[in-house]
């Protein structure tokens, strides 16, 4: 039984996994407390983790029907993420590992996002392409064996993350935070071809898997401003649908280009933006056309959670990886190349 702790952003997550099976999955979010600031406030997030940690652990243990003595290892996100938020989770995880007398494993947050899918669909095929799209990340990865091989970072956003773009544009459109779900809802009756929003970096030759979303935000702001200057109501549904189309188009096109280039038959999409209805639909459509299997975990495993960290911990334990020392620290900008285990074992 591996207990996983996640606290890199605004979710306090604790999950329990055994032999690839999900036994407990509890998440407390401080999202509401950040809403009026239009984004996550690090100090508020850290304090919220401090308040939520013990109750969330207790609830996860109850869900799994075990006590602390039933835990064989503790896994925790050591980075990347907000420094203060990570520290609360790591301090809590160390205490649990020390009290239970079990090993502690530091886990890379993005490896957690990748592993989330194994809890729903079983072991990942080697290799697979993983698209992580959330409020903090837009990354395209080539994943081999998650615990043995370094993850190949194919591309990243050069500015805003896709979720950040949804959140910022929603704000411009006067929609509530978090913006992604609000845009998704607003887009339902809109025409995705109504506004010709740009497809940033689509033809980029030297960095074919780089993403950029800040230009899209600027284009959306200009479009909204033009309507306001003319004293017209914002055709919100059309704007939202067109924005969503532009984001989904770029994300799925690049993900499938990566599958083609590396001869990969499986695409995994994780992160909060994987919940977007148009991203899902277009990914399904384009994967089917290319003969690529699409794996998208359920939404509660897509967004930040402790179960995904427990899933990595479970893989690490079963692979015989060396645990971290109890003086291990956080690494807010942990490099992905060292894959699941963090910090990387000495060569
Ligand atoms: P991290 O990058 O560390 O995972 P995060 O907490 O911002 O941080 P998630 O919790 O995975 O990431 O996802 C939240 C993001 O997903 C927000 O930006 C939100 O707007 C976006 N999102 C959620 N649902 C939808 C949706 N239906 N359509 C588009 N975006 C969505
Ligand atoms: Mg979040
Ligand atoms: Fe995340």
Output 111 or 40, whichever has higher pLDDT: 111
Query: Do 220 and 162 share a structural domain?
Result: yes
Q: Does 239 fall in a domain? A: yes
* Measured distance between the N- and C-terminal CA atoms of the chain, rounded to whole angstroms: 28
* pTM of the predicted model as reported, rounded to 2 decimal places: 0.91
Ligand 1 pocket at CB < 6 A: 8-10, 134-137, 163, 166-167, 178-181, 184, 271-273, 275-276, 303-304
Query: Do 93 and 159 share a structural domain?
Result: no
User: Nearest ligand to the C-alpha of residue 273?
Assistant: 1
Average pLDDT (247-266) is 97
Ligand 1 nearest-atom number relative to CA 113: 4
Q: ω into residue 127 within 30 of 0, thus cis?
A: yes
pLDDT digit string (tens) for 206-239? 889 999 999 999 999 999 999 999 999 999 999 9
pLDDT band of 42, cuts 50, 70, 90: very high
Q: Is 91 exposed, middle or buried (0-12, 13-18, 19+ CB in 10 A)?
A: middle
Query: Do 139 and 280 share a structural domain?
Result: yes
Ligand 1 nearest-atom number relative to CA 167: 20
Q: Is 196 exposed, middle or buried (0-12, 13-18, 19+ CB in 10 A)?
A: exposed
Q: Does 347 fall in a domain? A: no
Query: Do 138 and 266 share a structural domain?
Result: yes
* Mean residue pLDDT across the chain: 93
Query: Do 218 and 173 share a structural domain?
Result: yes
Pairing verdict, β 293-295 and 266-270: parallel
Helix pair angle (236-262, 162-172), 10° resolution = 170
**262, 279, 296 — which closes off a domain?**
296
Is the ipTM of this structure higher than 0.90? yes
Average pLDDT (81-89) is 97
Number of domains making up the chain = 2
What is the pLDDT, as a whole number, of residue 340?
57
Q: Does 64 fall in a domain? A: yes
Q: Is the pLDDT of residue 258 over 80?
A: yes
Query: Do 313 and 237 share a structural domain?
Result: no
CATH of the domain at 130: 3.30.420.40
Residue nearest to atom 7 of ligand 1 (CA): 135
Q: Does 305 fall in a domain? A: yes
Domain that residue 176 falls in: 123-296
Least confident of 63-77, 153-167, 199-213: 199-213
What is the pLDDT, as a whole number, of residue 200?
87
pLDDT band of 182, cuts 50, 70, 90: very high
Q: Does 268 fall in a domain? A: yes
Average pLDDT (53-66) is 98
């Amino acid at each position: 039984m591996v207990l996983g702790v996640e606290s890199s952003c605004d979710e306090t997550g604790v999950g329990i996994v055994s032999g690839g099976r999900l036994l407990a999955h509890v998440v407390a979010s401080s999202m509401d407390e950040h809403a009026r600031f239009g984004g996550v406030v690090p100090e508020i997030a850290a304090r919220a983790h401090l308040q939520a940690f013990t109750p969330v652990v207790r609830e996860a243990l109850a869900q799994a029907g075990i006590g602390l003595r039933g835990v064989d290892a503790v896994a925790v996100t050591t980075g990347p993420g907000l420094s203060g938020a990570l520290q609360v989770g790591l301090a809590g995880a160390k205490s649990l590992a020390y009290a239970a007398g079990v090993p502690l494993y530091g886990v890379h947050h993005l490896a957690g996002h990748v592993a989330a899918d194994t809890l729903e669909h079983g072991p990942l095929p080697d290799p697979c392409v993983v698209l992580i799209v959330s409020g903090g990340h837009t990354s395209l990865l080539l994943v081999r064996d998650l615990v043995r091989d370094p993850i190949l970072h194919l591309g990243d956003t050069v500015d805003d993350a896709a979720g950040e773009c949804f959140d910022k544009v929603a704000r411009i459109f006067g929609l509530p935070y978090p913006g992604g779900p609000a845009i998704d809802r607003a887009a339902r009756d809109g025409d995705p071809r109504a506004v010709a929003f740009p497809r940033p970096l689509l033809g980029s030759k030297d960095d074919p898997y780089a993403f950029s979303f800040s230009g899209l935000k600027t284009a959306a702001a200009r479009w909204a401003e033009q309507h306001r200057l003319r004293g017209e109501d914002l055709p919100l549904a059309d704007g939202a649908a067109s924005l969503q189309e532009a984001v989904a188009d770029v994300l799925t096109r690049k993900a499938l280009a990566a599958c083609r280039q590396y001869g990969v038959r499986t695409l995994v999409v994780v992160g909060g933006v994987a919940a977007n209805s148009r991203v899902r639909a277009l990914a399904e459509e384009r994967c089917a056309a290319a003969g690529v299997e699409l794996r998208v975990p359920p939404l509660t495993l897509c967004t930040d959670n402790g179960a995904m960290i427990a899933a990595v911990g479970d893989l690490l334990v079963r692979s015989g990886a060396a645990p971290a020392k109890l003086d291990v620290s956080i690494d807010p900008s942990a490099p992905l190349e060292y894959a699941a285990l963090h910090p990387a074992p000495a060569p």
